[in-house]
Amino acid sequence: MATLNSSKEPISMKFILLVFCLANATVLMAQKKDSLPSHVYRWDSLAAKKQKAWTTRSIIDGSTNSLAWFEVTAITLEPGKAAPPSAANYDIEELLIVKDGQLNITIDGVTKKMGAGSVAFAMPRIVHGINNAGNTKATYYLLKYKGKLPMDIERAKRAGGSFILNWNELATTNTDKGFRRDFFNRPTSQLGQFEMHTTALNANEESHPPHTHVQEEIILILRGNVEMYIDGDRYKASPGDVVFLSSRVPHNLTNNGEDQCEYFAFQWRN
């Protein structure tokens, strides 16, 4: 009996090891599929969908290491028209960036007229609305997301809550490569840190050597033609293009145009 048991033991251990490896592989594959890869989303390749008084362009829809759900959409409003109805989301935050035109943005009863580059942030459970305040079309990017960790409304309130930031009211700081414009750096109800700024780079300058960080990041090109280095590959990007950078992916940006470029960079982590 002892001999039979000893002969079966290696087979049993191999079986257990095989099951363990298959389980781990399944989890890793699910995680890889669940997380959005780093990518350059070209404005010219986005499909436009006309709906009543607005046109939408879907850019990103999925999840990331930090976000259970992440959606980025570009919306173009006809003159004088309102955006698609937006209720006070229970557990979703929204960030709006004006691409062009003039918008009236209302958050929790306060309305401001916003031009290109302006930003609005709405906490969960806050009523908000958008309408075109000009006589030409107006386009904005809308980021909607839900974190993977439990929501913390009180943390967001302590950090300042919802806000609207007008591009023309923000100061710039000169750098040795151009200049920088800071928007915010704070925790939110969904994220432990959310930071946003713009960087202007002179011709032939690079943002920094290729590097990594734990924060996930979006780069939004405002003006100029640039080259993105992402994990060994290089991609061209132009105004309107959106770049998603996953956590710990090597990257940098180079201004390969003849004029100064400028881009939004916003990073977040749990």
The pLDDT tens digits for 72-128 are 999 999 999 999 766 678 899 999 999 999 999 999 889 999 999 999 999 999 988
Cα angle vertex 44, ends 253, 53, to 5°? 125
Tokens of 126: 């806050």
Q: Is the pLDDT of residue 244 over 90?
A: yes
* Proportion of the chain above pLDDT 70, given as a percent: 86
> What is the per-residue pLDDT for 22?
43
Label residue 18 by pLDDT band (50, 70, 90).
very low
Looking at residues 154-178, what average pLDDT do you find? 97
> What is the per-residue pLDDT for 12?
53
Q: Report in angstroms the alpha-carbon separations of 66 from 69, 116, 219, 246.
A: 9, 29, 17, 10
3-state secondary structure of 86: coil
pLDDT digit string, tens, across residues 120-155: 999 999 988 999 999 999 999 999 999 999 999 999
Chain position carrying tokens 């992402």: 230
- Cα separation, 44 vs 36, in Å, equals 21
pTM to 2 decimals? 0.86
CA neighbor of 218 nearest in space, from 130, 95, 56 = 95
Higher pLDDT, 72 or 8: 72
Q: Is the pLDDT of residue 184 over 80?
A: yes
Task: State the burial class of residue 67 (Cβ atoms within 10 Å of its Cβ: 0-12, 13-18, 19+).
Answer: buried
